[in-house]
Structure 1
Amino acid sequence: MAAGKSKIGRRVARNLGVPFADTDRSIVAQHGPIPQIFEREGEAVFREYEREAVARAVSRRSVVSLGGGAVMHPDTRALLARATVVYLTVSSAAVRSRIAGSNRPLLTDGIESWERIFAERAPVYESLATETWDTSTLPITRLADDIAAWAKGRV
């Protein structure tokens, strides 16, 4: 959460000349605001919506920004295991200001919630990652340009 996936992903897609898909935005467009989905239908239903959005997005040759918890669904992990996955990391110190005032439903205790969730998810992120980039200090434009150059070298 709050690693800059959408901003970086959008720019990487533009640099590569491919479509960009943000699964959180897709879910919101189809089902309404994420906090309301969590409140109304629960996290399990949200994760199923997320799995469906990921399946649609990865079926096309595109750059996909996933919600931070998408990888917790086993079917989503199976989809990603066949894809090139860029794992964007961010330090606790850098993320603190990024999540301040956030209405993210899983961040009930602010940075403490983020740190606990990150610790739970990190092994899964690492197992799926083709390449890892840290977003804590470098400008997003530079990171996106570097990732796009890396991706072009893989083709």
Structure 2
Amino acid sequence: MHMILIGFMGCGKTTIAHILGKQLNKKVIDLDAVIPELAGQTIPEIFASEGEAAFREYEFQALKQTLGEDVIIATGGGVVTYGKSYSTLIELKNRPVYFLNAPFEKLYKRIQQDENRPLGNQDIEKVRDLYQSRLGKYKALSDLEVSTLQTVEETASEIIAHMNRTNHGS
């Protein structure tokens, strides 16, 4: 049984995945770490040389490759924007998908200085439009929306409590 974390850049997917991994004794796979292995180049290099569409295809391949494993998957913020990835996630049965969210201003503040986020290093209005355009998809895919304004430990606890209540933990 694995779980999937989705949400916008800066919401804490990777950090929370690692806390959950420790608490649930599960392996964590960060798709953003798998993609460079598949592509043989860094994420900024993929965006620069092949563009976002190629990146999304690598991301889809990484997702497909990891879905068979009993792991916690931290997806990239834009995984929901690519048709094949979105369809794959929406068809998942009995695999909880958690949408980590925080107010946009908080997220923007967290990602602003990160050079590894080609889509985050744009002006605030562009990034806000990106966030707004993805929000409905995050909500449609998720079993539960969890605020990451609380501490990372509280966020992880809320996810584990939901798993136990809904029997996703077994």
Answer yes or no: same fold by TM over 0.5.
yes
Identical columns (%): 28
For residue 22 of structure 1, what is the aligned residue in structure 2? 30
Counterparts of 1:23 and 1:119, CA distance in 2 = 22
Aligned partner of 2:66 in structure 1 is 57
Match of 1:97 in 2: 109
Q: Which residue of 1 aligns with 2:141?
A: 128
Please report how far the alpha carbon of residue 10 of structure 1 lies from its aligned counterpart in structure 2 after TM superposition: 1.3
Q: 1:12 aligns with which of 9, 20, 29?
A: 20
Task: Quote the Cα distance in structure 1 between the aligned partners of 2:81 and 2:119.
Answer: 14
Query: Contact 1:13–1:19 at 8 Å: present in 2 too?
Result: yes
Structure 1 regions of 5+ residues with no counterpart?
Answer: none
- Displacement of 1:38 in angstroms is 0.4
Aligned equivalent of 2:159: 147
Matched, 1:37 2:43: no
Q: Which amino acid in structure 2 is aligned with residue 33 of structure 1?
A: T
Aligned partner of 2:57 in structure 1 is 48
Does the CA-based 8 Å contact 2:34-2:62 persist in structure 1?
Answer: yes
Shift of 1:128: 0.5
Q: TM-score by structure 2 length? A: 0.84
| Matched residue SS, 1:133 | strand
**1:117 and 2:104 are equivalent in the alignment:** no
Quick one: which amino acid aligns to residue 101 of structure 2? T
SS at 1:132 equivalent: strand
Alignment correspondent of 1:74: 83
Distance 1:80 1:116 in 2: 23
Task: Kindly indicate whether the alpha-carbon contact (under 8 Å) linking 2:98 and 2:146 is maintained by their aligned counterparts in 1.
Answer: yes
- For the 8 Å contact 1:100–1:110, the answer to whether it is kept is no
More helix by share: 1
Deviations 1:84-117 (A, max 9, x none): 2100111122123201212211134243232110
Pairwise CA RMSD: 1.5
Runs of 4+ in structure 1 deviating by more than 4 angstroms, as ranges, are: none
Q: Report the Cα distance in structure 1 between the residues aligned to 2:123 and 2:33, rounded to whole angstroms.
A: 22
